[in-house]
A and B are shown apart, each in its own frame.
Chain A
Amino acid sequence: MELYEVALLFLGAAFILGGILVIRYSASRSKDLDAQARRAFRPLYVYSIGLFVIGIACILTFYEGYAGFDFLPLPPENPGRSFDLFIVLVMIQAIIMAAAASMIVESPYMLIAVAVGEMVAFIIFYLARQRLAQFRVSSVADAWFNIATIINGVLILLVSLVFFWVARRNPRGTTVSMALTLMLQIFLLPRIHAVGTALPLVPTYVSFAILFAVLMAPAMLIFTFLTPAQAPSAELLGYGGSFAGPALIISGLVAAGAFADPVVSLVSVFGSLGIMLTMGTSSYLYGRYSESKSTPTLLFMLSFILFAAGLIIGLLGGLGFLPGTLSSYVELILTILALTLLSMTAIIAAGWRSVALLPLLLYIPTMIFIVQLFPTNLSEAIAQVLPLALATIAILLLPIFIFAAVGWRMRRTHAPGQWRPLGTALGIALYFVIRFPSLILPGLEIAYGFVFVSFLVFWASITGRLDKWAGTARKVES
């Protein structure tokens, strides 16, 4: 199976969940309104039906690829795998979305134009399929496919224009992600996607990046309809990325056939969840930093970005999808830098500003010594610089004690928000216990899965969820 086909499963799930959340939002917002005001929410219900249709289309197409057959070959005698069902459902979805847009602008023209346009596109598409069934190979049919795709794409863009108008006057996370979700869908059209992968001019990573963007949009939709106050910001993009990144990694692994091994499957699923939590935490911290502009928050955010990058590279290397030794070195550099930044944050938070750079001063020479030994096995390299490595590790363990002490003091005085430092200390301790043995001893790639626990603790404590669960949250917190 292709990466694109596997990613459709994640997209389908995200579209359907997005649809459910849009309905939930509409129902809760309109429940106390009179019948007249409630009518305004109808387009949102229609929009969510459109999301269900595209979601079902994605999941069925994934299943078609998985099982190797077609639900709807057009015409029925046409052999071979195609995306007929997907294309037909996308056309139906475009008409549904046009209905929502027509209701919004209170004019039937959008619906009429899109319905007629999609019918023309379908006829051209059907004729192309028929021709292909007859001649097996046909450049004419190919051209017709392209024309049908262009019509379909233009019509989807036309409908998303209405949602962009909505977003322009009301620039919120919800409105922007609604418009983006619809617009980016054009990259899912098989022909447009094929242009991305087939043209020699377009490198693979461009089509990879496009797929990443397409995956981000419904994730942003889900997040914003869960927290409608979210502004359209880099924080929101981060939340989108925290879904798209792991989804693409798992899709890539499935496409490469890695999931035949159950251990690899579990490690990559939990590792990806860890990446999702790490990226989610860094997005959350970015949001807080953009409000407070405080240096410790910035350092915290940077360290989680580095954790995420290290985990992605380490996971792919550990599973054999990137050169093993190189990726373990890159992961070490990124992860130790992340821990160094955490250590600096703890030192600043403890009020010892004058020695805040000490962890960095130890980090740089240690890393230079270790990198010079490349491509020696990492455990041997660390053994060769053991005294320096131990000193670095000692200073990296420092934040555990500092955060624990701060949290403990807050606990004694019953101060709210005590689980933030306590959870951070616990997260770092868990990270050391789980990850460090596997950094030094080879063959412990399974730790990439377990490290998920430490990132879960980080995420829950930093975003205030641990305090909420323990009943020690600040009153003003959401």
Chain B
Amino acid sequence: MYGIFLINDAGETLASVGWENLKGDSALFGGFVSALQMFIKHISGTEVEEMRFGDLKLLLGRAGENYVVTLHSLEDKDAKELNQDVVDIVRDRVGQEVDDGFLSLISELVQSDGEVSEASRGGIADWTRSEMDRARKKAGDWGDKVF
């Protein structure tokens, strides 16, 4: 997850973390998201949940009156789950102030879980693969000696 943006119905960007991964003014981004959601709601009655551009994607979720927008790479398989985690945390903060620092904290919190499991998953797969390769080689060596 590259960034989190909290935007209200009026199109104001209340807080953001990770804007450095994009170009331009983060204040304009809030206006764009809010306008887009209003327009889509007007023509179809639904809201945009995902936007893709280049090798990035934006996931849009609703936390009360606000939109929670998260920025991910296209390959991020856990993107939906991470977005939902952030939405849940922000929803629990209703009535309390959410600033850049808080978003940064959330960003670290939700990603650390995933990273650990991802790392361990990768570790087990790598270990199994290397153990299989080693066993295959040993089996061949043994055959050379005995037959």
Contacts and interface: CB of A to CB of B under 8 A. Distances in A.
Interface of A: 26, 29, 37, 40-41, 43-44, 104-107, 109-110, 162-163, 165-170, 172, 174-175, 228
B61 to A, nearest CB: 41
B53 interface: no
A319 B131 CA distance: 57
B127 to A, nearest CB: 10
Interface string B112-147: 000000000000000000010011101110111111
Interface residues of B, number: 13
Q: Which of A107, A109, A165 has the most CB of B within 10 A?
A: A165
A105 B139 CA distance: 5
Given A40-B142, A166-B140, A175-B143, 20 more contacts: A26-B146, A29-B146, A41-B146, A43-B142, A104-B139, A106-B138, A107-B131, A107-B135, A107-B138, A109-B131, A162-B135, A165-B135, A165-B136, A165-B140, A166-B143, A166-B147, A169-B143, A169-B144, A170-B140, A170-B144
Contacts of A165: 135-136, 139-140
Interface of B: 131, 134-136, 138-140, 142-147
Contacts, number: 52
Contacts of A162: 135, 139
A44 B146 contact: yes
Contacts of B135: 105, 107, 110, 162, 165
A187 B135 CA distance: 26
Given A105-B134, A107-B134, A109-B131, A169 B140 contact: yes
Contacts of A167: 143
26 contacts: A29-B146, A40-B142, A40-B146, A43-B146, A104-B138, A104-B139, A105-B135, A105-B138, A105-B139, A107-B138, A109-B131, A162-B135, A163-B139, A165-B139, A166-B139, A166-B143, A166-B147, A167-B143, A168-B140, A169-B143, A169-B144, A170-B140, A170-B144, A174-B147, A175-B147, A228-B147
A29 B147 CA distance: 9
Contacts of A43: 142, 146
A174 B143 CA distance: 10
Contacts of B139: 104-105, 162-163, 165-166, 169
A258 B35 CA distance: 90
B131 to A, nearest CB: 7
Contacts of A29: 146
A169 B139 CA distance: 8
A43 B139 CA distance: 11
A30 to B, nearest CB: 9
A105 B146 CA distance: 13
A37 B136 contact: no
Contacts of B142: 40, 43, 104-105, 166
Contacts of A44: 146
Contacts of A172: 147
Given A105-B139, A165-B139, A37 B145 contact: yes
Q: Which of A37, A41, A106, A169 has the most CB of B within 10 A?
A: A169
Contacts of A163: 139
